[in-house]
Amino acid sequence: MRDLTGRLDLCCINTATLGHREPIERIAERVARAGFGFVTPWRHEIDEKRPQAAAAAIRAAGLKLGGYCRTTYLSADDAAGRREAIADNQRAIEVAAELGAPFLVAVVGGLAPHSSDAVAGRGHILDGIAALRPTLRACGVRLALEPLHPFYAADRSLLSTLAQAVDWCEQLDDGGPPCIGIALDAYHVWWDPALSASIARAGPHLLALHVCDWLRTTRDPLLDRGMMGDGVIDLRALRAAAEATGFAGPVEVEIFSQADWWTRDPDDVLATCSERLQRFC
């Protein structure tokens, strides 16, 4: 496992961690000043008609792009809705390329609004991902499938476990240049009794490693994530397992915390991230 001591240049801040309260130029400046080497922005922070300005600001701050967040849900009630999602995600892939992001994170979508057929939903999502391959390859961008906590299966993601993500990577392998991988987020997978076995299988597919913590008394599973060290996840073991399979990307902090970290001074949050990454990850 890599030694992260003093190596914030190997770490990434996902802008969600700071609560999306400032323009990307200002965020990039803060993240760089705190010593981090990477930043992962979200689509609503970027003017997708003119991403060059944001790209230039991030470069000027001395940061690299960790990735780009995230796809529109690929599930929809009808074929027109699914085509629309594909088109929107094609644009996101192009923007990821213009920003210089190595991958677009995919939150694949839950059940379609009027469906309770998870099997059919997963099939539609797989078809949607497959349809993105030509754009991914043309742009030199990968799609990082992110399994989301099973809590979100109905409304956000029918991709729920790391094992399933690896299965999907294998199913989506058409023999062409690799364009699909996995974003592994500790928050979504820490509970999984099959986690070690799945990480071992995931090795060559891992594109991203997201960290935060699961608070023991979590009541709001969406916006009450903990800072590393404040919860129950063994983040060091998770990173060791990922790196043992060959993962060498940045360790990315992504914390959704409406009532706590999003209310704090962004520079203080970044300082805490820095300290906790080195102590707990």
The helix/strand/coil state of 11 is strand
User: Beta partners for 65?
Assistant: 39
260: region left, alpha or beta (phi > 0 left; psi from -120 to 50 alpha):
alpha
Residue closer to a second copy (CB basis): 48 or 260: 260
61 is a contact residue toward a second copy (CB under 8 A): no
Stretch that binds a second copy, among 21-29, 77-85, 155-163, 249-257 (CB under 8 A): 155-163
Stretch that binds a second copy, among 78-86, 93-101, 176-184, 219-227 (CB under 8 A): 219-227
- Window 87-116: residues binding a second copy (CB under 8 A): 111, 116
Q: How many residues make contact with a second copy (CB under 8 A)?
A: 33
Handedness of CA 189, 192, 194, 196 (dihedral sign): positive
* CA-atom Rg of the chain in angstroms: 18
Residue closer to a second copy (CB basis): 110 or 249: 110
208 in Cβ contact with 249 (< 8 Å): yes
Stretch that binds a second copy, among 8-16, 59-67, 87-95, 192-200 (CB under 8 A): 192-200
In this chain, which of 151, 172, 224, 274 binds a second copy, going by CB under 8 A? 151
187 is a contact residue toward a second copy (CB under 8 A): no
**Residue 224 corresponds to which tokens in the numbers above?**
């009450």
DSSP-assigned letters across all residues of 183-236: EEEHHHHTT-TTHHHHHHHHGGGEEEEEE-B--TT---TTTBPBPTTSSS--HH
- Helical H segments across 51-108, by residue range: 52-60, 79-99
Stretch that binds a second copy, among 19-27, 52-60, 69-77, 161-169 (CB under 8 A): 161-169
Give CA 219 to chain center in angstroms. 22
Stretch that binds a second copy, among 50-58, 93-101, 202-210, 215-223 (CB under 8 A): 215-223
Smallest separation, CB 183 to a second copy (Å): 17
Residue closer to a second copy (CB basis): 31 or 281: 281
Smallest separation, CB 64 to a second copy (Å): 32
CB burial string 59-97: b at 16+ within 10 A, e below: eebebbbbbbbbbbbbbbeeeebbeebbeebbebbbbbb
d(CA 133, CA 141): 10
Residue closer to a second copy (CB basis): 97 or 112: 112
154 is a contact residue toward a second copy (CB under 8 A): yes
225 is a contact residue toward a second copy (CB under 8 A): no
Q: How far is CA 187 from CA 29, 124, 164, 217, 231, in A?
A: 27, 26, 16, 14, 10
205 is a contact residue toward a second copy (CB under 8 A): no
Stretch that binds a second copy, among 4-12, 70-78, 98-106, 213-221 (CB under 8 A): 213-221
Smallest separation, CB 175 to a second copy (Å): 24
Residues lying near a second copy in the complex (CB under 8 A) are found at 111, 116-118, 122, 149-151, 153-155, 158-161, 163-164, 190-194, 214, 216-221, 231-234
